[in-house]
Amino acid sequence: MFTGLVEEVGRVWRLEAGEMARLGISAGRAAEGTRVGDSVSVNGVCLTVSELDGGTLTFYAMPETLRRTALGGLAEGSPVNLERAMRPADRFGGHIVQGHVDGVGEVLAVRPEGEAEIWELGAPEAVLRYVVEKGSICVDGISLTVVSVREGSFTVSILPQTRANTNLGELGVGDRVNLEADVIAKYVERLLGPRQERDLRNLERSVEDAV
């Protein structure tokens, strides 16, 4: 599990395409104490460390991962947000992030607002259904607060600190990003779904009996 608080921005130094993509990333802080087999969030995608050589981490990405995320669009030199898995004693400064991407979004617009910036991100309905104003959303592994929800998109406010310490400093309009909705919203929907269906059936029966 992760918190969405990016520890550092790493760089892709090797990318080998194939049925199983091999991704080599240079890291500093994220490599400290990390061992082969550990989980690391790479742009919001939970990947397992397969090889470790000093400050370089190597991961393998399955075809399913490449289909459902924006990792396939990375190139050598691309910046990536890195976060090691949360430890039980760590402070919980962001929100619950699993590293299981729900969909890929696109940066539609960036406009200044005081010292901050408002970013509008296009998103598929499979993600937007869980997005609420002032709720949490994970964008490329960054825990952000939703400012507003629109038809086909949502907005977030990016502080200078966030942009300077994440890959957002090198992204712009047209770039694709990984999106993960708040897992709590998904569990609530799952739990209430059968009840809503049951209530609807009861309502239909009541109407039929009345007729």
pLDDT, tens digit (0-9, with 9 covering 90-100), for 178-202? 999 988 888 888 888 666 556 555 5
Q: Residues with Cβ < 8 Å from 9, sequence gap 6 or more? A: 79, 80, 81, 82, 165, 166, 167, 169
Does residue 120 register a pLDDT over 90? yes
**What is the domain count for the chain?**
2
Range with the poorest average pLDDT among 15-24, 93-102, 128-137, 188-197? 188-197
When pLDDT is averaged across residues 19-41 and rounded to a whole number, the result is 94
Selection from 55, 68, 59 nearest residue 29 by Cα: 55
Q: List, in sequence order, every residue forming a beta bridge with 10; answer none if it has no partner.
A: 80
Model pLDDT, residue 116: 96
What is the rounded distance in angstroms from the CA atom of residue 52 to the CA atom of residue 36? 6
Structural domain harbouring 125:
103-187
Which amino acid is residue 130, in one-letter code? Answer: Y
Residue 137 near residue 154 (C-beta atoms within 8 A): yes
Choose between 121 and 204: higher pLDDT: 121
Does residue 210 register a pLDDT over 70? no
Domain-embedded: residue 72: yes
Give the chain's mean pLDDT. Answer: 90
Model pLDDT, residue 193: 67
Could you tell me if 111 and 166 lie in one domain? yes
- pTM score over 0.85: yes
Could you tell me if 107 and 142 lie in one domain? yes
What is the rounded distance in angstroms from the CA atom of residue 191 to the CA atom of residue 63? 30
Selection from 143, 120, 156, 110 nearest residue 44 by Cα: 143
Percent of the chain's residues with pLDDT above 90: 72
Give the pairing type, strands 79-84 and 21-26. unpaired
Task: Count other Cβ atoms within 10 Å, centred on residue 208.
Answer: 8
